[in-house]
Structure 1
Amino acid sequence: MKGYISGTAAITPQHTFDTGRYLEEWVDHQTSYLSATEPAYREIIDPKLLRRMSRIIKMSVASAYKAMQMAKVEIPGAVIVGTGLGCVQDTEKFLKEIIDNEEGILSPTAFIQSTHNTIAGQIALMLQCPNHNFTFSNRGHSFENALEDALLQLQEGVEHVLVGGADEITPIVHELMGSIRCVSINQEDQLSVLGEGAAFFILTKDQNEQSFAAIEDTVAFNNPLVDDVRGKVVQFLDRNELASADIDLVLMGHNGVADGFFDAMGDLMKENAIAQFKNISGESFTASAYGHHLAAVMLQKQQVFQNTLVSGKFGGSLDRILLYNHYKGVNHTLTLLSKCPS
């Protein structure tokens, strides 16, 4: 399955929304999790609508709008979103109302806005888009499942698909996840640092004037051993008739914690330039959505950005990027992206 990227935008803990100054300035976060660096939403979204939007809706709508503007698409043939935690802020609000009202009569608004499919639904309502609308929530494969559905939609004849991944963090969620040792709660912890954000894409079946990158192939797999990952990578390259020397950059979701999977990948691809993306996005169920966005932007700009290169030397041009990510050693992803021929 193949799809062409004609537009993409992302909001992350770093400056990634403004393409003119993409990752030019590095934000030094002083908190124990990475909160999103958000744009001026009033310039993108009707201020009257902003008042009723939670942060994850704002991030998603703004990213979706910008991706569509880049691709010159007004109404997508499908809206597909992956999210691990959904609208956490609204979920907390709803649960607080239950407690405050002692389980009495509640307004249904907070509950309606707290469901995972609120993001895709809100985008479709604002666009007046009646087409295929799906939300996938499957831990570390939430975005991957959304991407697979998007590619299937293209295969079935849909002209263009809006697909993205989004997750938000609140202090309460961070405290809860930290209490069960899922993420770092202070600088002394040898655990991954939680992050938040949204990344959206317009995918098309055929290359057009706006296309700048292509998703050549993608595969998701669960619970492998370290040696299994090596075999999966070799098998993945073989089925695309490629050798490791044909890959210009390996982009990995290493989160700074000692990890046998990433060590094995680094050893297998040691002759290649290797870069990372979770130092930008932080760890989340849908961090790989930003990884795909970063790979696409690198192919478009023919640039490896500061603070991303881990090892090896950038050769000056990028034709193919191999993305590898996993979440907690359970949900693993391989995606091959390429530059569109001019």
Structure 2
Amino acid sequence: MSADRPDLAAPLPHTQDGDAAPAWAVIDSRWRVFLRVVEAGSLNKAAAALAMPQSAISRAIAHLERQCGERLFVRTGRGVVLTEFGAQLLPRVVRLAADADTLVEDIRAARGQPMGDVLIGLLPSAVPRYAGPLASTVRECMPGVRLHLVEGASAQLEEQLREGRLDMAVVLREDATSVGDERILARVPLHLIGRLGDAVLAGGEVPLIRISELPLILPARPHLLRTRLDRLAAEHGLRLHVVIEADSVHLQYEVAAAGGGYAIAAFPDGAGDARLASACIVQPQLERFVVLAESPRRPHTRASREVHRLVCALADKITAR
């Protein structure tokens, strides 16, 4: 099931002539069949996903093509692909389907509890803090809401937000100026991570100027943290000595544990690793911001607003503890 259109996976009831038709729909349900065929790349696969006969899928597409006066798909040896005309229609149909879903959900929610799908992304470090409590609270208090949880790096989640594949996500911001009107869930200091027992980390704090003397394990450009560190180094007249580039925190920690250099991370998650130690970077202290960002391409529903409120409430409890 695609994270883009989770609601399309549900089987559609059929009319007497076999065409898909929900009991009550804001848009012609044939356009939902069109979206499923685009996603599946095959009439057979779309029919299986929708629990419909292939003949009904073919009739639905043929009906749309007659209405449009243009072909929507061309057949290939492996399935179907959009025509140029179909590709032009696709983003507008996606938006129309999303708006129709929002209208239906809002009508239902207005009669009672919030209903519908909410897609939320979490950083790996946020998973143990939010995933369980959020899922259990939604299940208990909002039984009509179905959560779709996605785990990923901040850059991956940002991309999914921009593409409209998530309603919201817990992501990182490098400084206060990049936060805007997003809800700040936490402020976290950057730490220098190295092998346990390392003398550089013994005092629990490391001045920024000292970092220029150390072999560093950093993500490759254009990673936002790398860009920020490069800018800070230039501002303070420092030169960073990057010996290894590693784009995941897990990789950075493994290299640091083997004595290959020092990693810099927003969360000292390595504290649970007996091989690692950490020290807070100071003079100046460097902070990153954990924020709850929302997609500019997905409409706000009552369900998504309620889940947003729950995430913020959980953050307040975590901060209080």
Higher RCO structure, 1 or 2 (CA under 8 Å, sep 6+): 1
Fold-level similarity (TM above 0.5) = no
**Higher radius of gyration, 1 or 2:** 2
TM-score w.r.t. the length of structure 2 is 0.26
Q: Please, what TM-score do these two structures have when normalized by structure 1?
A: 0.25
Normalized per residue, the structure richer in helix is 2
